[in-house]
Amino acid sequence: MRLLRPGIPLPGSEPRTPTTFVSVPYSDFLSKINSNNVQKVEVDGVHIMFKLKSEPGTQESEIISGSKLQESDSLIRSVNPTKRIVYTTTRPSDIKTPYDKMLENAVEFGSPDKRSNGFLNSALIALFYVAVLAGLLHRFPVTFSQHTAGQIRNRKSGGSGGAKVSEQGESITFADVAGVDEAKEELEEIVEFLRNPDRYIRLGARPPRGVLLVGLPGTGKTLLAKAVAGEAEVPFISCSASEFVELYVGMGASRVRDLFARAKKEAPSIIFIDEIDAVAKSRDGKFRIVSNDEREQTLNQLLTEMDGFDSNSAVIVLGATNRSDVLDPALRRPGRFDRVVMVETPDRTGREAILKVHVTKKELPLADDVNLSDIASMTTGFTGADLANLVNEAALLAGRQNKIVVEKDDFIQAVERSIAMASVHATITPAVGKSVNRSSPTKSLNTAFLPGFDVVGRVASTCKDLHPSSITLAPRATLTFDPPETSTEKAKNSKHTIDPSSPDFLPLPSFEQCFPKSTKEHKEVVHEETGHVLKVPFRRVHLSGDEPNFDNYDTSGPQNINPRIGLPKLRKDWVDRRDKLGAPRCTQMYYAKQGIITEEMLFCATREKLDPEFVRSEVARGRAIIPSNKNHLELEPMIVGRNFLVKVNANIGNSAVASSIEEEVYKVQWATMWGADTVMDLSTGRHIHETREWILRNSSVPVGTVPIYQALEKVNGIAENLTWEIFRETLIEQAEQGVDYFTIHAGVLLRYIPLTAKRMTGIVSRGGSIHAKWCLAHHKENFAYEHWDDILDICNQYDISLSIGDGLRPGSIYDANDTAQFAELLTQGELTRRAWEKDVQVMNEGPGHIPMHKIPENMQKQLEWCNEAPFYTLGPLTTDVAPGYDHITSAIGAANIGALGTALLCYVTPKEHLGLPNRDDVKAGVIAYKIAAHAADLAKGHPHAQSWDDALSKARFEFRWMDQFALSLDPMTAMSFHDETLPSEGAKVAHFCSMCGPKFCSMKITEDVRKYAEEHGYGTAEEALQQGMDAMSAEFLAAKKTISGEQHGETGGEIYLPASYVESQKR
C-alpha cells in the first residue's frame, strides 16, 4: 500500500490544462482559415469554436496576424503561459460555413460532443422526477385514505351521477318558449320523429342522432331541449358534461355508458348534455394547456356510444354549448351531431313575445301605462334569461313600494339596473366633444342612447357626480358606443390583439338602432332540383298611413350573433351535395355552362328580383360573377355584373403599426350594416391568418384578399426573396380558409415597367410595385403571369374568383390614361380569356385617378379588350386637390363610371393617402359609394332605383318626416341633422322645415294651390293657375281710374313704362 503525500495527485487524475475561450470577429476566423493557420474547428449551427496551429513564443507565432487574436492571445499568455486557448465566433446567417476551404487545408472539423454533460443531465432529470413523485405521494395518500375500496367501487358503479330523468320534459312545451322561432322550426322535425318513429323507420329514414344547440348564455338552449321532450311526451334525461369528469380515470366513460343504456331502455327518449364543451374540447391541443386523460376517455366513450346507436333506436342526443369553436371535429361529423341549431338573441319582436310569456306565466298585474313593445325596444341585446330576470326585478321593485300593479317606471328602473348605468359610464368621458353646463346636462343626453329609453332624468345627477365640470357624449349621428377621442387618447388606448384565438370583441349597434322603422325580413324560395329552401334577406321599411311598405336590398347579415361563435353556415348543405357529385370543377361558371342553376344563382336572382335563368346565362357568358369559395359557408351570395345593381366594396385590414382583430371584425360588421356588398382584407403585419379567419367566420358578404401581401410577410418584407412556391403556398392557405376572390397583379409584365419611368407618381399600387421590384431584381417575367394556369387550377377547385389587379394604375391626374396603364389592361384581357377556358370567374380592376372627361375611354377599352368581364374600379378620383375629402372626389368618378357599366366600386375613405381608416371613416366611405352606386343605377334605368327615389320624394313632399328618415341611406344622421334645429316631436309632423319656416315653404304653397284648385273644381294646379291669371287680367281691364285718380276712357287702367322705352317706340 502506497501512501501519498499531500499535494501529489492520484494516478489518472492529473489536472488538465485549463482552457480559456476568447470571442473574436468572424472575419478573423475567415482570415485564419484562408491562411491555413487553423488546426481544429467545431461547428454548432452559427456558433463556431476553433484552435490555431501556431503557439505564441515559437517561430510560427510570427505568422499570426489580426489585432484581435494577437492582443487577446498575448494578454492571456502573459497571465498564465500554460493556458489552452479556444477561439469562438458567430457566423452571419446569410454566409455559408467554409467547409471547402477546411477540406482543402486538411482542417479537423466536426460538431461539439454534447455527451460530456450526460451524467449531470441524467442526474438532474432523475432528481426532478423524484421530486415530482414525492409531491404526488405527499398529496394523494390523504385523498385515498378517505375512501375505502368499497366506496370507490360504489362510485364506479354509481352510473351517470348527476343525470336527472324527468317525464315529458317537466310539462314544458314550445308554447313556453318564445323569441327563438327559427330554432323551434328546426326542432319540430325531431319532435315529430319522437312522436311517430314508426312512420319514418318503415321508410328506412334515419333521424339525426344528435342536435347541437349553439348560442350565447341565457338564450334558452336548455329550455328548448326540455320543450322538445315536452312536445314529444318522452322522458328527458339530462346531465351536465362537467359531471362526467372526476378524479378517477374511467369514471366519466362509465357514466356515459350508463347514461346511454338508461336512455335506450326508456326509448323513445332524449339525452340532454349541457355545456358539452367541458368534456368535448378538440384533442389537437389548440384549446387546452395540458392533456387530461379522463376527459379524453370520456369523449372517446361518448363518440363510441353515438356511433353504436341502432339506426332504429328512438334516442336523440341534444347538446348545448356557447363555444362551438372549441369542440372536437369528430363530434360534429355526420352520424353524431348531424345538425347544428343556432339559438340567437331575440330581436325586438322576439323580446316582446318573451316578455308576454313571463308576464303571463307569473300572472303579473300590469298598469295601463305598460307597453311591452316599448320595453322590448329598450332591451336591445337582452337574452331570454335577461328578460325573465327583468320581469322579476320589476315585480320586486313594485313590491317594495307596496304597489298593487307593476308600472312602466318599475320596468325602466329594472332596465336601468341591468344596462343603463353601465352604458352611461361607458359613454360619458371627460375627453372631447360638447361640454354642457352641469346644471343642465339633459340637452346632450337625448342624443346618445338606445331608442325608446329615456335616460335624461335618471342620469343627470349621476353625470354631475362623475364629471362636475363637463359631460361628453357620443354624437347620435355617428351611432357608436364609444365617444370620439383625441389623437393622444387614441394612441394611448390603441393596442394590438393580445390573444388572437380569443379576441375581446367590441359591441355593435343593433340593426334596429341603425334603421328605425325597419325590420329584417326573409323571402323563402325553393330550389327546384334539390328542394332546399333558401331564405333571402331584405330590409323592409314600414311607412306610415296607407303607404305600402318598401323592401330594400340588405347586406347586414344575421343579427345578434356572438363573433366568437360566428355566423350560421348557410351554404353547408348546398356545398356538401355538390361535393358528393364529384364534378371535375366546382365553380359557378362551370355549373352555369352545364345549364345548371345552383342555389347561389337562385339566391342572387331573388335578391335582384330577376329570372334565375338570366343570372345563369350572364355567369356562363362571363359578364357576371358570384364570388363564393366553397369553404366560405357563412356567405349570403351576391352577383357582380353590369346588368345588375352596382355593388360597393369596402377595404379593411390591420397593419404592422395599428388596429387589431377586434377592430377589423367590427369594421366588417359596420361596413356591411351600411351596405358594403363585399370586403377586401388587406391585413399586413402580425396575426394575418388569425385576422382573416375571424373576418371570414363573421362575414356574410364575399371576402377578397391580395395574397402577395401575406407572401411578402413570409420573406420578411424582402420582395426579391419571393418565389412562386411561397406564393402558391399562400394561395392554398387562403383558399382553405374560404377567401372568395384573389386580387393578383399578373398583368405587371417586365416589359411594361420602364413605361412608368416618366410618370409623375410612378407605380402607386402596393401589389404592382412588389411584382415590379421582383421582376427587375431577377430580370425575369412576373411569376404570377408565368404560372397563371397553375393559379387557375387552384381557383377552379375552390370556386375562387379572380380580380386581375391594376398594378400599373395611374396615381395622379397627370398620369391618367397613359401607355403603361392601357398596356396592362390589354394583358388583363388575355388573362381573362385564359381563365374562362378553365371555368374560373374573373373581373378586371380599373384605374385610380382619372379626370371626368377621360373616364369613358377607360370603360370602352375594358369592355372591348376584356370581352365584357365585370369591371371593378377604385373610384376613380376625379381630382387630386382635396386630401381628407377623397371619398367625395372619388364618388363623383364612381357615379360616372358606374353609369357607363362598371359593376363593382371600391370605396375610398376620407383617410385615403393619409392614414388607416377607423370605423367612422369606413361608414363615410360606404355611404359616399352607396350614393354613387344608386346614382349609377338611376342613370341605367334600374326600376328599383327609381322606385326608391320616388318613395322618398313622395314622403318629403307630404312632410312624412319619419318615413323620409327611414327611407334614407343613413336614417340616424338625417334625423340628427333635422333635430339640431327642430328637436321637438311635433316638428316631425310639421308641414315645413327649418330653412323656409311655416310661411315660405314652397311645398306648402304648392299644397295650397292644389287645395284651391280642388275647392274650385279645377282639374289641375296648372288649370287653376291659368284661371287665376285670367281673373286678374279681367280685373285690370275693368279698372276705370289710374293710380293718380284720373279718368282715361271707358275701360282699362294705366301701365307705367320707362320714358326711354316710350320714346324708342315713337321713333
Beta bridge partners of 553: 538
| Residue that has been written with the C-alpha cell 373576418 in this structure | 695
Look at residue 828 in the predicted model and tell me its pLDDT. Answer: 96
Look at residue 370 in the predicted model and tell me its pLDDT. Answer: 87
Q: Looking at the 3D structure of the chain, how many domains does it have? A: 7
Residue 202 pLDDT class (50, 70, 90 cuts): confident
More confident residue, 246 or 1034: 1034
| The pLDDT of residue 44 is above 60 | yes
| The pLDDT of residue 967 is above 90 | yes
Alpha helices in 89-148 (DSSP H): 99-104, 118-145
Q: Residue 94's domain is classified under what CATH number?
A: 3.30.720.210
Domain boundary among 463, 485, 507: 485
| Shared domain check, 837 and 697 | yes
With a CB cutoff of 8 Å and minimum separation 6, the contacts of 296 are 283
| The pLDDT of residue 486 is above 70 | no
Look at residue 423 in the predicted model and tell me its pLDDT. Answer: 40
Residue 43, in any domain of the structure: yes
Look at residue 1 in the predicted model and tell me its pLDDT. Answer: 38
Alpha helices in 364-420 (DSSP H): 372-378, 384-400, 408-415
CB-based contacts of 286-291 (< 8 A; 24+ apart in sequence): 286/501, 287/326, 287/501
Q: Residue 317's domain is classified under what CATH number?
A: 3.40.50.300
More confident residue, 330 or 848: 848
Coil vs helix vs strand at 765: coil
Give percent above pLDDT 70 in the chain. Answer: 72
Look at residue 298 in the predicted model and tell me its pLDDT. Answer: 73
Domain boundary among 898, 932, 966: 932
Q: Indicate the Cα dihedral angle 776, 777, 783, 786, nearest 10°.
A: 60
Residue 351, in any domain of the structure: yes
Q: Residue 833's domain is classified under what CATH number?
A: 3.20.20.540
More confident residue, 29 or 833: 833
Look up residue 859 and give its DSSP letter.
Answer: H
Please give the grid coordinates belonging to residue 632.
Answer: 366560405
Residue 522, in any domain of the structure: no
| Residue that has been written with the C-alpha cell 334565375 in this structure | 612
Nearest residue to 765 (alpha-carbon basis) of 788, 748, 786, 740? 748
Average pLDDT over residues 98-118: 75
CA end-to-end span of the chain, whole Å? Answer: 162
Give 204-272 as a 3 state SS string.
CCCCCCEEEEEECCCCCHHHHHHHHHHHHCCCEEEEEHHHHCCCCCCHHHHHHHHHHHHHHHCCCEEEE
Residue 845 pLDDT class (50, 70, 90 cuts): very high
pTM over 0.95: no
Cβ distance 162 to 243 under 8 Å? yes
Cβ distance 942 to 553 under 8 Å? no
Domain boundary among 903, 932, 961: 932
Average pLDDT over residues 89-118: 77
| The pLDDT of residue 1037 is above 90 | no
Cβ distance 82 to 76 under 8 Å? no
| Shared domain check, 82 and 225 | no
Look at residue 272 in the predicted model and tell me its pLDDT. Answer: 84
Cβ distance 668 to 679 under 8 Å? yes
State the residue range of the domain holding 99: 19-112
| The pLDDT of residue 1035 is above 70 | no
Residue 641, in any domain of the structure: no
Cβ distance 668 to 654 under 8 Å? no
Look at residue 850 in the predicted model and tell me its pLDDT. Answer: 94
Average pLDDT over residues 51-64: 53
Lowest mean pLDDT among 313-327, 552-566, 874-888, 1029-1043: 1029-1043
Look at residue 1011 in the predicted model and tell me its pLDDT. Answer: 72
Count other Cβ atoms within 10 Å, centred on residue 155: 16
Residue 179 pLDDT class (50, 70, 90 cuts): confident
Look at residue 1048 in the predicted model and tell me its pLDDT. Answer: 52
| Shared domain check, 297 and 208 | yes
Lowest mean pLDDT among 203-212, 642-651, 902-911: 203-212
| Shared domain check, 214 and 307 | yes
> How do beta strands 904-906 and 647-652 pair?
parallel
| Shared domain check, 861 and 899 | yes
Residue 744, in any domain of the structure: yes
Look at residue 441 in the predicted model and tell me its pLDDT. Answer: 42
Report which listed range, 80-89, 685-694, 1005-1014, is most confident: 685-694
Look at residue 704 in the predicted model and tell me its pLDDT. Answer: 96
| Shared domain check, 902 and 759 | yes
CA 158 to chain centre: 47
Residue 539, in any domain of the structure: no
User: CA angle at residue 967 from 993 to 954, to 5 degrees?
Assistant: 60
| The pLDDT of residue 241 is above 80 | no
Average pLDDT over residues 942-968: 89
Average pLDDT over residues 296-300: 72
Average pLDDT over residues 579-608: 93
Look at residue 736 in the predicted model and tell me its pLDDT. Answer: 94
Lowest mean pLDDT among 176-180, 549-553, 674-678, 843-847: 176-180
More confident residue, 150 or 1055: 1055
Report which listed range, 23-27, 119-123, 476-480, is most confident: 23-27
As a whole number of angstroms, the distance between CA 555 and CA 37 comes to: 75
Average pLDDT over residues 852-872: 94
Average pLDDT over residues 257-284: 77
Look at residue 259 in the predicted model and tell me its pLDDT. Answer: 77
pLDDT tens for 976-1025 read 887 877 766 655 555 556 556 555 566 666 767 677 677 777 766 677 77
pLDDT tens for 448-458 read 333 334 444 44
Coil vs helix vs strand at 868: coil
| Shared domain check, 475 and 405 | no
Residue 959, in any domain of the structure: no
Give percent above pLDDT 90 in the chain. Answer: 35
As a whole number of angstroms, the distance between CA 887 and CA 669 comes to: 20
| Shared domain check, 93 and 167 | no
| Shared domain check, 804 and 732 | yes
As a whole number of angstroms, the distance between CA 439 and CA 471 comes to: 11
Residue 254, in any domain of the structure: yes
Report which listed range, 422-436, 752-766, 911-925, 1000-1014, is most confident: 752-766
Look at residue 995 in the predicted model and tell me its pLDDT. Answer: 59
| Shared domain check, 912 and 777 | yes
| Shared domain check, 434 and 336 | no
| Shared domain check, 367 and 337 | no
Cβ distance 348 to 542 under 8 Å? no
Average pLDDT over residues 222-246: 78
Q: What is the mean pLDDT of the chain?
A: 78
